[in-house]
Amino acid sequence: MSADCLFCKIASKKIPSKIVYESPDVFAFEDISPQAPTHILICPQKHFESLTDASPEDQAVLGKLNWSPPNWRASATSSQATALS
């Protein structure tokens, strides 16, 4: 975690947000100012200053940023489910 990172503050619940999915590795939340009907940001729980800071051990976590779990789709509204599919 980084003290000045907006996403770390959201992950640690210091900044309120509408979290739509959370696991030990990643979390997802609705954008506060969406540019589309459904705009969800998916972030790793671990702070990365940049991708160059990632190590081979981080490969699985970074891969999860492109994966939407089935229970997430089931819990989403019908418009979100369509956007996430």
User: pLDDT value at position 40?
Assistant: 87
Q: Which amino acid is at 30?
A: E
- Specify the pLDDT at position 10: 94
Q: Which domain holds residue 31?
A: 6-84
* 79 part of a folded domain: yes
CATH of the domain at 16: 3.30.428.10
Dihedral of alpha carbons 4, 39, 42, 74, sign: positive
Beta strands of 1-85 (E only): which ranges?
19-22, 26-30, 40-44
Q: What pLDDT, on the 0 to 100 scale, is given for residue 82?
A: 38
Instruction: Indicate whether this model's pTM tops 0.85.
Output: no
Query: b/e map of 4-23 (b: 16 or more CB within 10 Å)?
Result: eeebbbbbeeeeebeebbee
Residue 1 is assigned to a structural domain of this protein: no
* Residue at 22 is within a domain: yes
Tens digit of pLDDT at every position of the chain (85 positions): 778 899 999 999 999 999 988 899 999 999 998 888 888 889 999 999 999 999 999 999 999 888 765 555 545 544 443 344 3
What pLDDT shows up at residue 48? 93
The tally of domains found in the chain comes to: 1
